Structures are given as C-alpha cells and as structure tokens.
C-alpha cells in the first residue's frame, strides 16, 4: 500500500512516500480503507521523537491518529460493523507505528465509531482526537454549566474550537482567547466574549470581563500562559492542560484543581460527539485539505502554529 512514513526521528524531510505491506485485520479488529486522515500537533511531535519515552515506537513509522473511511475487512470475532460502513476513529495504538497516513489501517473495533451522517469524510477525519480531548478535558469539571465561566486558550485551534462549543453546550459562559483574524470565528462558535491577545494581555482582559475569576480553564498552550491562568481561576476552580502537567505546587497555593489530559480512544465518546454533530450542536472547521504526498507540508503548517481548526490529508 502507499503510505507516508519515517525511518528515523527528525524534521519534516524525514517523511517519505513508501510502499508498505497492506495490513490485515487481526482478532477484534477492522480493516479500514482510509478516505481521509486528520493532522494533529502530536503527529509532528511523534516525528521529532518527543513521545519516545511516553509510548513505544517502531520503524518504519506511519503517523496519524485520526481516520475516516470505510470498513473493508472484519477480523476474527469482530461483529460491530459491516463491510462498507462509514466509520471514524481516534486510532491510537499501544505501539506507535501503523497510523492513518496510508491507504489502509487496521484498528481495534472497540475504538471505532460510525461516522455522523452529516459529515464528509474530510470533515469526519478532523474530529476524533481534538474533540475527544476537549470533551475529556471538560468532563474533569462535571460542575461546569449554567452560572459557571470557562476560559478557553488557543480557542480557534483544533482542541480549542471544540472546547468552546462543548462548554457552551454545557450552559457555561465562555471566554475565548484568539488572534485578531479569529475573533468573529470564535464568537460564531458560541463564545460570549472573544479576547484578542495581540491587543492586550489576555489575563488583563479576563480580569476586566470576569473580575471574580473564572471557574475553569482549558489550556492548550502551557508555559507562561498556564502560569497566568492560575491567577484568574477562582479558589475551588480547575485548570486542565493538554501540553504538560500543571504546576502542582502552584495549584495547592491557589487552592485550585489542576489536571493533564492525554485523550483516550473511546467509541462511546465518539458516539456522543457524533450525536452532537448530527443535531447541529457541534461543527468542525477544516482549514485545508492536502494530498497525502504533501504530508510534510501539512506538518510544517501544523508545527508553525496558529492553524484555525484542523488540517486533513487524503490518499
């Protein structure tokens, strides 16, 4: 099969077109014909070797954890799907090697879901990892709802633009931090206020808009931005980060809860998200679709940051 893979860690030039053996569906797996594959920041981090101490890797390594396609083969004891069904998945596996930047991918059926009927394949491939991350972050704060305020950093990005919508769906007031070209975009997602971080320090803006402090922060930035978030969260509130563990000492000092979330594959959560999509309560933003051969360009753009929504590859 045609695939894009790396044989060693490094820059985007390490991504090469390869002809690799077509995978087979093992016990409890389905073989999916890849119609579209989502591009996530974790893809270039894997390419660079940033996750090598967190998860086992093997070469040749085909990146890609987001897939939308059709079921082509059922492995032994796989009974949840029929051949030809349209499916999507956050296809993370115990060993990082056989991902979605390819014509075919074998995936445990337990983590696969039926695609929402209202989405094109390119749209569906943009959803699983980012939306599952946002959903699982917000579920760390079950009290988030009417009367509560949520702050979403990097709100126009992959995780952020889903976080804005999910927090709004929960009934919370949503403050969204984004650049100047994304102000109207995040307001259109349901944010109550859009904060332009190029015009003023976003923490000063939050102090002005919500002087009593916010109840919840979804942090996709880390570093200094995460540190500032501790200053605007109410005692008893919560910060959830996705790029590193929040400072536990600072959390104790500020009397707030602080969590790190690395999304887990979940067909149940995909079904929940799919229901929101089909009911019109959740949408995705696909900024650009690349041919698979240009995966290196897609990863360059992702690594540079400031991508609105998601990037997608098509074989």
Contacts of 264 (CB under 8 A, 6+ apart): 132, 136
Residue indicated by tokens 């699983």: 128
Average pLDDT over residues 63-89: 98
Cβ atoms of 61 and 20 within 8 Å: the answer is no
| pTM: predicted TM-score of the whole model, two decimal places | 0.97
Beta-strand ranges (E) seen in 206-278 are 214-219, 233-241, 257-260
Checking if the pLDDT of 56 tops 90, the result is yes
- Assess whether the previous peptide bond of 150 is cis (omega < 30° from 0): no
pLDDT (0 to 100) of residue 299 = 98
Delimit the CATH 3.90.180.10 region(s) of the chain.
2-127+284-314, 131-260
Checking if the pLDDT of 244 tops 90, the result is no
Quote the mean pLDDT of the chain.
97
69-72 — which CB contacts under 8 Å span 24+ positions?
A: 69/32, 69/33, 69/34, 69/35, 69/36, 69/105, 69/121, 70/32, 70/33, 70/35, 71/30, 71/31, 71/32, 72/31, 72/32, 72/33, 72/104
CATH fold of the domain at 131-260: Quinone Oxidoreductase; Chain A, domain 1 (3.90.180)
The alpha carbons of the chain give a radius of gyration, in whole angstroms, of: 19
Average pLDDT over residues 293-307: 97
Average pLDDT over residues 22-50: 98
The Cα 119–Cα 67 span in angstroms is: 13
**Structure confidence by residue, pLDDT tens digits, 263-275:** 999 999 999 999 9
Checking if the pLDDT of 8 tops 90, the result is yes
Joined tokens for residue 61 = 């390594």
pLDDT (0 to 100) of residue 53 = 95
User: How would CATH label the architecture of 2-127+284-314?
Assistant: Alpha-Beta Complex (3.90)
The Cα 7–Cα 107 span in angstroms is: 22
pLDDT (0 to 100) of residue 127 = 98
Checking if the pLDDT of 226 tops 90, the result is yes
pLDDT (0 to 100) of residue 247 = 92
**Structure confidence by residue, pLDDT tens digits, 195-212:** 999 999 999 999 999 999
């Amino acid at each position: 099969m045609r695939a894009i893979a790396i044989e060693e860690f490094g820059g985007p030039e390490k991504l090469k077109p390869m002809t690799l053996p077509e995978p087979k569906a093992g016990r409890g797996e389905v073989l999916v014909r890849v119609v579209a594959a989502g591009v996530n920041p974790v893809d270039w981090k894997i390419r660079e070797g940033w996750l090598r101490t967190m998860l086992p890797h093997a070469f040749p390594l085909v990146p890609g954890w987001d897939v939308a396609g059709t079921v082509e083969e059922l492995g032994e004891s796989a009974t949840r799907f029929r051949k030809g069904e349209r499916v999507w998945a956050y296809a993370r596996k115990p060993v990082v090697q056989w991902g979605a930047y390819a014509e075919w991918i074998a995936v445990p059926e337990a983590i696969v879901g039926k695609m929402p009927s209202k989405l094109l394949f390119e749209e569906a491939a943009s959803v699983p990892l980012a939306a599952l991350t946002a959903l699982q972050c917000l579920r760390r704060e079950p009290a988030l709802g009417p009367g509560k305020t949520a702050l979403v950093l990097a709100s126009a990005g992959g995780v952020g633009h889903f976080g804005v919508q999910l927090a709004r769906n929960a009934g919370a007031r949503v403050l969204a931090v984004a650049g100047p070209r994304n102000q109207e975009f995040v307001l259109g997602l349901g944010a109550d206020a859009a904060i332009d971080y190029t015009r003023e320090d976003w923490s000063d803006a939050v102090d002005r808009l919500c002087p009593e402090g916010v109840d919840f922060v979804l942090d996709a930035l880390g570093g200094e931005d995460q540190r500032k978030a501790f200053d605007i969260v109410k005692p008893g509130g919560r910060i959830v980060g996705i790029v590193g563990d929040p400072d536990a000492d600072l959390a104790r000092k500020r009397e707030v809860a602080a969590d790190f979330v690395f999304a887990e594959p979940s067909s149940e959560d995909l079904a929940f998200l799919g229901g929101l999509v089909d009911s019109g309560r959740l949408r995705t933003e696909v900024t650009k679709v690349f041919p698979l051969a240009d995966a290196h360009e897609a990863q360059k753009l992702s690594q540079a940051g400031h991508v609105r929504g998601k990037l997608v590859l098509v074989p």
